[in-house]
Amino acid sequence: GQNIDQPTEMTATEGAIVQINCTYQTSGFNGLFWYQQHAGEAPTFLSYNVLDGLEEKGRFSSFLSRSKGYSYLLLKELQMKDSASYLCAVRSGTYKYIFGTGTRLKVLA
């Protein structure tokens, strides 16, 4: 079956670095995605990994290890506006995007 696990909640301080982990078990792995979702809003795309390694995009980086079924999202120089839920999603085969339950991040001043 398909399974994606993320921590439910994390708390960090403004200006710090936080790493949000995601482990997955899926058939037909075809890419891993991270989305940000502010309360009451739709998710917005942050990053995409299909090969092993690190993808960097400004303050956000995402890492993938396909052999371990593991990814993380790294947020640097945290800002108050980064308080949101972060969703890990896996594409299974060509069409199916399966989402984890999300990690709610609270950034404290």
Tell me if 48 contacts another protein by CB under 8 A. Answer: yes
Contact status: 44 vs another protein (CB under 8 A): yes
Cβ proximity to another protein, 69 vs 100, nearer residue: 100
Q: How far is CA 79 from CA 14, 42, 57, in A?
A: 5, 20, 16
Give the torsion through C-alpha atoms of 12, 89, 50, 70, to 10 deg.
60
Site for another protein in 8-27 (CB under 8 A): none
Residues of this chain that bind another protein (CB under 8 A): 31, 33, 41-45, 48, 50, 87, 89, 91, 95-102
